[in-house]
Amino acid sequence: MNASSLPALLQGFFTERLRTQLGASSYTVANYRDTFRLLLRFAAERLKQAPCALRVEELDPSFVGDFLQHLEVDRGNCTRTRNVRLAALRAFFRYVAVNEPAHALQCQRLLAMPTKRYQRGPVEFLTDEEVAALVAAPNPDTWLGRRDRAILTVAAQTGLRNSELTCLRRQDVEFGAGAHVRCLGKGRKTRCTPLSTDAAAVLKEWITEQGGETGDPVFPSSRGGRISADALQRLVARQAATASERCPSLKGKKVTPHTLRHTAAMSLLRRGVELTVIALWLGHESTETTQVYLHADMSLKERALAHGTSTGAAPERYRPSDPLLAFLESL
């Protein structure tokens, strides 16, 4: 294999650049791996060549642009996912530019490809009533139901990320005074998140039922191993569909593990917890990331407006008195 060939450069990027030089986390490596799996499959179909026969020159900006378009149009990926894939490709071509100066011009053109702007929608979160319905949805008479109930309770109260929930081990949970869970979060930052009395009780009952060793996963799959991220996504969606039969407001919401993370943040914000504390709770690098929650709940803004009125009277939201006007307002 030629040292300057695409397979050699790609292998060097993962082994030398990511693992040895950068010490990238397993999540970063997996994300970049998935990007290049998709790229090589697209290239094999488009160029009619085996992945090991591809050359760096063939991955020019035009081809990469077609690949990004394929992700959005054919695979139905959102703009944010498209940008994540582009970031992985940029990291690789920065490595190529350093190790193969002959491709420097091509790499510069690829690195100049801009990320795509997108409209940020409002943060989706659940009300207290919706959380209660979701937690009550699993069947407590089955092993899976009791596991799902424990997962949903912990997720909605702690705001742990999908990966943080699936990687949680029994040695990461502390009960008694100051009950909390420890997790290794984004950016390899370890943090402790307190457990409420109710969440601690549910989690303790679940762990006691399971038994096992301290290194075992808190939320195992039906086969005993660690539950996967995709399985957790399906679990939350399935229980949300069940809960919507008792709580109709859930029918109009797409509930994911990240929705429960938003729910935990909004619950803290509504109870008057400072934004800096919420940022620490969620493991955010900066409070700028946390500020998105300030825009999510209209009632928070209305309370702020009430404090600023000269009369002290609480402001009222406009509500059309005529049914036809109400219909037009809803459009």
pLDDT digits 0-9 by tens, 288-310: 888 888 777 666 666 666 665 55
CA atoms of 146 and 152, how far apart (whole Å): 10
Amino acid type, 265: A
Provide the pLDDT for residue 327. 77
Which one of the listed residues 70, 90, 253, 258 is annotated catalytic?
258
| pLDDT mean over 76-105 | 94
143 is written with which tokens? 């092993």
Catalytic residue list contains 270:
no
CB 166 within 8 A of CB 145: no
Residue 90 lies in a domain: yes
Rounded CA-CA distance 232/218 in Å is: 13
d(CA 33, CA 14): 8
**Same-domain status, 203 and 64:** no
Question: Are 147 and 227 in a shared domain?
Answer: yes
Q: For 164-191, what is the mean pLDDT?
A: 89
Query: Is there a single domain that holds both residue 173 and residue 106?
Result: no
46 is catalytic: no
Catalytic, out of 186, 204, 238, 253: 186
Q: Cβ neighbours of residue 222 under 8 Å, at least 6 residues apart? A: 144
Residues 103, 142, single domain; the answer is no
Q: Which of 147, 149, 161, 262 is catalytic?
A: 161
**Is 180 a residue of the active site?**
no
Q: Does residue 296 sit in helix, strand or coil?
A: coil
Residues in the chain: 331
Q: What average pLDDT does this structure show over 65-87?
A: 94
The reply to whether 293 belongs to the active site is: yes
The CATH number of the domain holding residue 35 is 1.10.150
Q: Which helix (H) or strand (E) holds 174?
A: strand 173-174
| Residues 49, 76 share a domain | yes
Active site residue 261: yes
Confidence of residue 93 (pLDDT cuts 50, 70, 90): very high
Per the residue annotation, which of 85, 103, 261, 262 is the catalytic one?
Answer: 261
Number of domains in the chain: 2
**For range 225-240, the mean pLDDT:** 92
Residues 160 and 258 in one domain: yes
Task: Confirm if 133 and 153 have CB atoms less than 8 A apart.
Answer: no
What's the mean pLDDT in 212-225? 90
CB burial of residue 293 (10 Å; 0-12, 13-18, 19+): buried
- Domain match, 274 and 178 both: yes
Same domain (yes/no): 153, 276: yes
pLDDT band at 9 (very low <50, low <70, confident <90, very high): very high
Active-site choice (82, 103, 262, 284):
284
Cα–Cα nearest to 255, from 266, 263, 265:
263
The dihedral formed by the CA atoms of 40, 43, 48 and 51, expressed in degrees to the nearest 10? -30
Structural domain span for residue 33: 6-111
- Boundary (domain end) residue, out of 83, 111, 139: 111
Query: Does the pLDDT of residue 96 top 60, yes or no?
Result: yes
pLDDT at 330: 74
Does 1 score more than 50 pLDDT?
no
Establish if 273 belongs to a structural domain: yes
- Establish if 326 belongs to a structural domain: no
Is 246 catalytic? The answer is no
Q: Which pLDDT band holds residue 287 (cuts at 50, 70, 90)?
A: confident
pLDDT on residue 323: 79
Residues 13-58 pLDDT 10s: 999 999 899 988 888 898 899 999 999 999 999 999 899 889 999 9
In this structure, the answer to whether residues 276 and 215 fall within a common structural domain is yes
In a domain, 321, yes or no: no
| Residue 105 binned pLDDT confidence (cut-offs 50, 70, 90) | very high
